[in-house]
């Protein structure tokens, strides 16, 4: 059974992911309606059966504050698809400060990239330009939507419809 449900705002923009349990509760309390069912799966009780939601939509529009994704080692790796941003390997990953910390480089989304230990030591105390290293792509600050989209790589085809409509 799939255990994650996509929550849409009243305007159909994706805002969060929750458990099936929470989704049921929202629908039961009439705070949300079911938009898409998890293909044919049902939850059976003694007297009835309920289709399992895959996407639900809130009945009332909620203002979603910008939820900054926490800056952590894991989230930087996630943003970079668990690939060294210099050579593309997925082995021995570390975090690299583009502008080295020793030279005043800050620890933030734009100055941190995933790098394998080999590229990291090759780069040493230099910027990528100085070390002749090219980035696969420029680091960015991920939005909630970026991370929701990562879930698409799993198996939530019916979510794609909603994750592509809006680009916040």
CB of 119 to Zn ion, least distance (A): 3
133 is a site residue for Zn ion (CB under 5 A): no
Give CA angle at 48 (42, 51), nearest 5°. Answer: 25
The residue count for binding Zn ion (CB under 5 A) is: 5
Closest to Zn ion by CB, 9 or 114: 114
116 is a site residue for Zn ion (CB under 5 A): yes
CB of 88 to Zn ion, least distance (A): 7
Give CA angle at 22 (156, 68), nearest 5°. Answer: 70
- Evaluate whether 54 touches 158 at the Cβ level (below 8 Å): yes
Distance CA 116, CA 95 (A): 8
CB of 100 to Zn ion, least distance (A): 16
Q: Name 4's bridge partners.
A: 19
Looking at residues 58 to 97 of the shown chain, list those that interact with Zn ion (rule: CB under 5 A).
84, 86-87
CB of 92 to Zn ion, least distance (A): 8
Q: What 3-state DSSP class applies to 17?
A: strand
Contact positions vs Zn ion (CB under 5 A): 84, 86-87, 116, 119
């Amino acid at each position: 059974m799939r255990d994650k449900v996509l929550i849409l705002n009243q305007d159909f923009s994706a805002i969060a992911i929750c458990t099936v349990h929470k989704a049921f509760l929202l629908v039961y309390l009439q705070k949300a309606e079911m938009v898409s069912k998890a293909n044919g799966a049902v939850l059976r009780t003694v007297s009835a059966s309920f289709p399992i939601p895959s996407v639900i939509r809130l009945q009332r529009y909620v203002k979603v504050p910008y939820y900054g994704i926490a800056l952590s080692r894991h989230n930087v790796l996630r943003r970079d698809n668990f690939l060294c941003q210099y050579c593309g390997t997925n082995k021995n990953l570390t975090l690299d400060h583009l502008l080295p910390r020793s030279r005043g480089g800050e620890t933030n989304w734009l100055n941190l990239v995933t790098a394998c230990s080999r590229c990291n030591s090759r780069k040493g105390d230099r910027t990528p330009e100085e070390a002749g290293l090219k980035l696969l792509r420029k680091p960015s600050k991920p939005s909630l939507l970026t991370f929701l989209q990562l879930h698409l790589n799993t198996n939530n085809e019916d979510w794609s419809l909603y994750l592509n409509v809006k680009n916040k």
